[in-house]
Amino acid sequence: MPNVSGGPRRRSKASWILGIPIAAAVVWGVYASYAPPPVGPMGEVMAPDEDVLTAQIVNSGIGILRNARLKNGDGVYRRDAHAKNHGCALADFSVTERLEEPFRQGVFAGRKYQAWVRFSSGNEGANSDWKPDARGMAIKVLGVPGTKLLEGEQDAQTQDFLMIDNPVFFIRNVEEYARLTKFQGEGSQFGYFFEGKNPFKWRLREFRLGLGILNVDMPLPKALPATEFHSMSAYKLGPRNNVKFMTKPVACKAGGDVASRWVSWSRNGLGDDLRDSLKADAACFDLMMQMQVPGKNMPVEDTTVRWSRNDSPFVTVARVELKKQDIKPQMDNGFCENLSFTPWHALPEHRPVGGLNRVRKAVYQNISRYRRCMNGMFYGEPLNDGSPKFGSKPCSALAPVPEAGESKTAAGGS
């Protein structure tokens, strides 16, 4: 019988017509999440309101600390990021022999140092290691002579390198970083990405990159001694060159093996595995450097752009050997938690560049002071001899940042 009413056909046609904008939105969403940003300047460019935005980011960061303290319920002020501490280990930091001249700058003009290496997870909470998250590796080289960049700590004899297990960040500039931390300070984890009801204004590329940083595609957490870590942002190498860093797991001895990538099933499996691994044997990383090449898309302001290894391969500049050791004592006495890292604990030859790094200068120093002082800890850098002790005195969260070395009293971190 003929369809005299036309109902089913009309409904089918209407559904098809309504499906066009939905399909278009899906196609646009996929394109927007993968479309690269326009090529920008390769040098530093500072926004005129960057100081105001940085102050907003500091205030938001303190709000994140307070929210995390209430959420965890133990009264401890933790870092606003990389709060979960998997452990810190003493290491030998050995500069590559016969390193070529362009790379022999700053700390790489030396030979051998000791260093503390801290491993962490990126979230502000102490989550299970089986929850998707970024993993961090921070290296604090000890006994580095020379005047440093950080105000109030110019006499500190440390050089820091900060890295995570992803080569790019998901925020392009300081303005966007301020918007992100505003939402985070208000307790909203997704408000920045999906602001408003118009999907064409959502930040889909940033969301995709953020998921990559959280390792959502990795079903199992990867053992820390078997993980690559990247600086994401750029740094000076002497007066003319810009570089990025990474660490690559390597065998400590010729013919040896890299640590296994698998961890235990516990919520603290990464830290348990790290402790057991280092009690059994040393673990090694090669610290590598990638030079910016003129004329290539290798910006310092936009950390969402990955520098191509084809344009500029990484060069090994140092070996970081985590000694065979028991890391439990420095975890138990609070030393690891009391360590503070910033890319501005640096010689001028390694000055951090780009908007993300300029923000980190104020944010890391202020939040570190607030967190450590509110916890009744000590402010300052560890002693040069590699002992798990600090060379400075207690501080007040509201007092000016104390100068490194103003007190020679060694104090523990708990």
Confidence of residue 287 (pLDDT cuts 50, 70, 90): very high
Find residue 394's DSSP bridge partners: 378
pLDDT at 199 over 80: yes
Cβ pair 185, 64 in contact under 8 A? yes
Sign of CA dihedral 225, 286, 241, 237: positive
Task: State pLDDT tens for residues 387-412.
Answer: 988 876 656 555 544 433 333 333 33
Give the pLDDT confidence score for residue 406 in this predicted structure: 34
Q: Where do the domains of the chain lie, and which CATH numbers do they carry?
A: 50-374 (2.40.180.10)
Higher pLDDT, 315 or 214: 315
Of 64-68, 185-189, 216-220, 335-339, the one with minimum mean pLDDT is 64-68
Give the pLDDT confidence score for residue 61 in this predicted structure: 66
pLDDT at 183 over 90: no
Residues 6+ apart with CB under 8 A from 301: 40, 41, 44, 45, 172, 173, 354, 355
Task: State pLDDT tens for residues 354-367.
Answer: 988 988 887 776 66
70-84, 93-107, 254-268, 365-379: range with highest mean pLDDT: 93-107
Confidence of residue 1 (pLDDT cuts 50, 70, 90): very low
Give the pLDDT confidence score for residue 119 in this predicted structure: 96
Nearest residue to 36 via CA among 232, 325, 306? 306
Type of residue at 196: G
Type of residue at 240: R
**Residue range 147-167: mean pLDDT, rounded:** 92
Give the pLDDT confidence score for residue 232 in this predicted structure: 94
Higher pLDDT, 176 or 288: 288
Residues 6+ apart with CB under 8 A from 261: 222, 223, 226, 227
- Grouping H, G, I as helix, E, B as strand and the rest as coil, residue 26 is helix
Confidence of residue 54 (pLDDT cuts 50, 70, 90): confident
Measuring CA to CA, how many Å separate 54 from each of 185, 206, 360, 363?
14, 20, 9, 7
Distance CA 173, CA 145 (A): 33
Give the pLDDT confidence score for residue 323 in this predicted structure: 94
Of 57-61, 141-145, 259-263, the one with minimum mean pLDDT is 57-61
Nearest residue to 125 via CA among 265, 16, 267? 267
Higher pLDDT, 396 or 239: 239
Cβ pair 347, 159 in contact under 8 A? yes
Q: How many CB atoms lie within 10 A of CB 337?
A: 22
Distance CA 97, CA 95 (A): 6
Maximal CA-CA distance, the chain: 98
Of 36-45, 277-286, 320-329, the one with minimum mean pLDDT is 36-45
Q: Please state, rounded to an integer, the average pLDDT across all residues of the chain.
A: 81
Distance CA 192, CA 347 (A): 35
Q: What percent of the chain has pLDDT over 70?
A: 76
**Residue range 64-68: mean pLDDT, rounded:** 64
**Phi then psi dihedrals of residue 358, to 5 deg:** -65, -40
pLDDT at 78 over 90: no
Cβ pair 55, 45 in contact under 8 A? no
Confidence of residue 248 (pLDDT cuts 50, 70, 90): very high
Cβ pair 213, 78 in contact under 8 A? no
Higher pLDDT, 348 or 331: 348
Higher pLDDT, 57 or 253: 253
Q: What percent of the chain has pLDDT over 90?
A: 40
Higher pLDDT, 372 or 241: 241
